[in-house]
Amino acid sequence: MNGAEALVATLAAGGIDTCFANPGTSEMHLVAALDRGNEIRCVLGLFEGVVTGMADGYARMTGRPAATLLHLGPGLGNGIANLHNARKARSPIVNVVGEHATFHRGFDAPLTSDIQGLARPVSHWVSTSQSAQTIGEDTAKAIAEARGYPGQISTLIVPADAAWGEGAAVAAVPPRRGPASPHTPALAEAAEILSGRVNVALMIGGSALSGPGLELAARIAAHTGARLLGPTSAARARVGVGLPVVERIPYPIALARQTLADVRHVVLVAVDEPVAFFAYPGQPSRPLPKNATVHQAVTAEEDALEGLQVLADLVEAKSTTLQLQTGMEASRPQGELDLAKLAELFAAGLPEDAILVDESITSSFVLLPRLKRAKPHDFLQLTGGAIGIGLPLATGAAVAAPGRKVFCLQADGSGMYTPQALWTQARERLDVVTVVLANCAYATLRGEFKSVGIDNPGANALTMLDLANPELQWADMARSMGVEARRVRTAEEFAAVFDAAKRQRGPFLIEAMI
């Protein structure tokens, strides 16, 4: 058995059933081994940012790591932005990065680079296999590290001669460990705050936003009178009518501070204290008031459900009536499409149990208040701020959840970072409906220009924020990669095309001119 075969067999033994790949010459033995094994589904991406974003989407929907297969330092480099997002989402991923043969590395061949150096900033664990003899154990370790709760990024670098070398063996992968139990004193303190103080907020994240913890958290909040808060962006949340209302902290720092102005105590469950996305002149980094105290009841690495159960018992919150999300009134907006009309139609039409990927950026300020009134769905957001995740994330989620329809709200500027994901959607016939929000601008930056205190940007600066010259033709671009697409300009057109897209199987893109 050669090293590549041992690696692939160990991946399979460790429960990895999917490999998102963009291989090159140095990974040819790995490709051959993946082919022989046949236990792992390979999904090709035409660009590594697509590959790593797909792996993130897969992990968010399954809770399990996929493997990626990347080509040396530059291939890893292309995947870094979405690995950064995955790291912030706490998604498990096992990266397998090909490297020159050990005897070749000293020659400074064209593709030689410091792969470990590139991997470290986006990985919890990095290692380079030294030979075929260690590759099985190295792979088992990579899987075990990726499974570190709630999820970590492992990067295993595989020299070509470790892959083609003989004498390798499959290694046993240690069984997955669950999360650690939360600390009793921290829970007791949190319960005391929740029960005994006013102006308390219970802020939840991680699995508490989508699992059974959500109802428990809502019950605790309703019983104690605490506000139930969630982070601005979350890897995955269960959202929609009939579900507990979780107030998300707004993105603009001024608005976040205003929203949190009355808070005196924050109890954190599986989430960190809120922090501003960016710094601004004269604004603090923490949106919480200076006199607020922070109580970490459950860390992100601990068991949120167990913690919430204990908290609910301690505050005796069992039978409270919950504040649940109300639905929306039927409306049929007409005429020229704008963001508000699109939001109404999209939210009203979103089918039950959809997977919804959101990279709508500025448009989210209008979209999100409507979306939470849609039918219950899984809502996946950009967690690390590195734009260009929407299309890959939706693609990976669709690979992970066959039989569930995936929707993607994609801003046009950020969509242009990784449009190649559409090709993979077409190739794999994935059931993804993408709505491109075509405002022809880096609209977020126009706002940010003001936020940093610049009121009168000049013509050249505005040009750097404008995507209208030339105007992107997203429907044409989608078709060029095999995805059926339509450009729509009116509410009626959007409604009709959206209905048709929902009814059919396979990828479809709607370019919504807003």
Nearer to a copy of itself, 78 or 364 (CB): 78
Closest CA to 387 of 75, 85, 52, 47: 85
Out of 13, 88, 313, 441, name the contact with a copy of itself by CB under 8 A. Answer: 88
8 Å CB contact between 129 and 159: yes
Say whether residue 121 binds a copy of itself (CB under 8 A).
yes
In contact, 202 and 220? CB cutoff 8 Å: yes
CB of 237 to a copy of itself, least distance (A): 16
Residue 104 in contact with a copy of itself, rule: CB under 8 A: yes
Closest to a copy of itself by CB, 63 or 506: 506
Q: Whole-number minimum distance, CB 253 to a copy of itself, in Å?
A: 11
* CA–CA gap between residue 394 and residue 388 (Å, rounded): 11
Residues in the chain: 514
Instruction: Give the residue, chosen from 111, 169, 328, 340, that forms a contact with a copy of itself under the rule CB under 8 A.
Output: 111
Q: What angle do CA 106, 110, 111 make, to 5 degrees?
A: 85
Strands (E), 369-507: 377-381, 406-411, 432-438, 484-488
Give 97-132 as a DSSP string.
Answer: EEE--GGGGGG--TT---HHHHHGGG-SEEEE--SH
The yes or no reply on residue 471 touching a copy of itself (CB under 8 A) is yes
Element (H, E) at 158: strand 153-159
Residue 277 interacting with a copy of itself (CB under 8 A): yes
| Among 52, 509, 88, 44, CA closest to 300 | 88
Q: Which is nearer to a copy of itself, 435 or 472 (CB)?
A: 472
Taking CB under 8 A as the criterion, the residue among 15, 77, 211, 376 binding a copy of itself is 77
Peptide bond into 23 cis (omega under 30): no
Residues 391-450 that bind a copy of itself (CB under 8 A): 413, 416-417, 419-420, 423, 426-427, 444-445, 448-449
Site residues (CB under 8 A) for a copy of itself, limited to 167-226: none
Helix-strand-coil split of the chain, %, nearest 5: 40, 20, 40
Residue (215 or 448) nearer to a copy of itself, CB = 448
- Site for a copy of itself contains 166 (CB under 8 A): no
Beta bridge partners of 379: 237, 356
Can you tell me which of 6, 222, 276, 436 binds a copy of itself, judged by CB under 8 A? 276
Binding status of residue 262 toward a copy of itself by CB under 8 A: no
Residue (114 or 329) nearer to a copy of itself, CB = 114
Residue 88 C-beta: closest distance to a copy of itself, Å: 6
Binding of residue 113 to a copy of itself (CB under 8 A):
yes
Return the number of other C-beta atoms located less than 10 Å from residue 272's C-beta: 13
Token look-up 């409906």 returns: 433
> Applying CB under 8 A, which of residues 172, 180, 324, 454 lies at the interface with a copy of itself?
454
- Type of residue found at 46: L
Question: Cβ of 439: how many Cβ atoms within 10 Å?
Answer: 19
CB atoms within 10 A of CB 325: 18
Tell me how many residues contact a copy of itself (CB under 8 A): 101
Q: How many CA atoms lie within 13 A of 351 on its CB side?
A: 15
- Give me the least distance between CB of 63 and a copy of itself, in Å please: 21
Angstrom distance (rounded) from CA 30 to CA 409: 35
Minimum gap (Å) between residue 212 Cβ and a copy of itself: 27
Q: Which stretch binds a copy of itself (CB under 8 A): 125-133, 175-183, 312-320, 381-389?
A: 381-389
Give residue for tokens 């039989």.
Answer: 403
Nearer to a copy of itself, 91 or 224 (CB): 91
Q: How many of the other CB atoms lie within 10 Å of CB of 423?
A: 21
Query: Least separation, in Å, of the C-beta of 501 and a copy of itself?
Result: 18
Examine residue 453 and tell whether it contacts a copy of itself (CB under 8 A).
yes
Q: How far is the CB of 450 from a copy of itself (least distance, A)?
A: 9
Interface of this chain with a copy of itself, residues 55 to 74, rule: CB under 8 A: 72-74
323 binds a copy of itself (CB under 8 A): no
Regarding 482 and contact with a copy of itself (CB under 8 A), the answer is yes
Evaluate whether 19 touches 66 at the Cβ level (below 8 Å).
yes
For a copy of itself, the closer of residues 325 and 418 by Cβ is 418
Least distance (Å) from a copy of itself to the CB of residue 111? 4
Structure tokens at 297: 């009841």
* Structure token digits, residue 367: 């979209």
Q: Select the span of 173-181, 218-226, 315-323, 463-471 touching a copy of itself (CB under 8 A).
A: 463-471
Nearest approach, Cβ of residue 277 and a copy of itself (Å): 6
Q: Which of 62, 129, 224, 233 binds a copy of itself (CB under 8 A)?
A: 233
Give dist(CA 489, CA 512) in Å, integer.
6
